A and B are shown apart, each in its own frame.
Chain A
Amino acid sequence: MTLTETGQSRVNGYLFVLERSLKTFLPMDVVRDAVREIESHVRERIAAADGSPNEREALERILLELGPPLRVAKAYSAERIVDEAIATERFVPMLRAVWHLAVTTAAGFGAALGILIGYLTGLAFLSLALLKPIFPDNVGIWVRDGHESLRTEFPWRLGAQFPIPPDEHVVGGYWVIPICLFLGLLVLVLNHRGTMKFLSWWRYRRVS
């Protein structure tokens, strides 16, 4: 089957959408190679088609068998981004994979939210450890004036306050630093492992 101008436009439109979708997540050289391969597939199918009952229907059938461009792009990007994150276990590829899943799937969005909260919590603990030596009176466990024992102030409120509230003050000393460092690193490591587990689970059930 030889394509008319209309048919050619339809193919170009498909490839354009595919390229735009792939560009969002993949490097340009990978995008070019993927689009070239899909175009080769389409041209091959078109060359082998007899054009019945008409060009439009024959072409739509070919594109339908290939799948919608967004679905193809999703499969490409998921294969690459999630695999890279799992293989390297590095922070940036992992964030990229989580971001990709967050904007493409509902489960990914929920997981990304939890992962974000986890990282922020870990970073908050580490920030407290860093701020304590600089602002010793502003960082620590906060108690109300007149309640010097931590027992009467449960639940404890660990944090930094600027300026210091008039009826509160911090208790404890620099021992807050190792505790915050330990908790911060623990939360970050657990969160990282949890993220890898989520990505592995997702890879297992991904679209293929």
Chain B
Amino acid sequence: MSRDTWLEQLRRGGLDLAILLAVANGPRYGLAIIQHLEAFTDLVVGEGTIYPILGRLTREGLLDATWVEGEAPHPRKYYKLTRAGAKRLREMTLEWRAFADKIDRLMAATTIGAGREPVRGRGEDDRDAD
């Protein structure tokens, strides 16, 4: 797998979570979500491809979409988290942190030669004692 493919897979894996996080503190319309993601991440490659994902998350019941008129010269479609979306966001956040933590530990354990002692995994001490 090339580095680009791997990065692309990472990006795709994180995009749903990032979009849910973007509306976690309150409703946002499409462009505001994109700008929020662009301010913190480089997950947005094509702006136009974010909208289909917003549509899917809405169909899945994780987001609720409402058109608002009069706020700007053109109508805006606002997205907000549903109760199911908030629950999914909590689960995804926990999963993501747990996953990142495991990878961090693994990376720390493989820093041999970089002047650091490898971090021992669970059970390794017991095996050594035997």
Contacts and interface: CB of A to CB of B under 8 A. Distances in A.
Interface residues of A, number: 24
Nearest to B59: A83
A47 B49 contact: no
Contacts of B31: 40-41, 44-45
Contacts of B11: 208
B22 to A, nearest CB: 15
The SS class assigned to the B binding surface is helix
Interface in A52-93: 65-67, 71-72, 75-76, 78-80, 83
Given A47-B73, A208-B15, A208-B53, A40 B48 contact: no
Interface residues of B, number: 23
Nearest to A47: B73
A38 B59 CA distance: 18
A83 B15 CA distance: 17
Contacts of A37: 30, 51, 77
Contacts of A41: 30-31, 47-48, 51
A192 interface: no
Interface string B52-80: 11011001000000010000111111000
The 5 closest A-B pairs by CB, nearest first: A72-B48, A67-B48, A67-B46, A79-B52, A43-B74
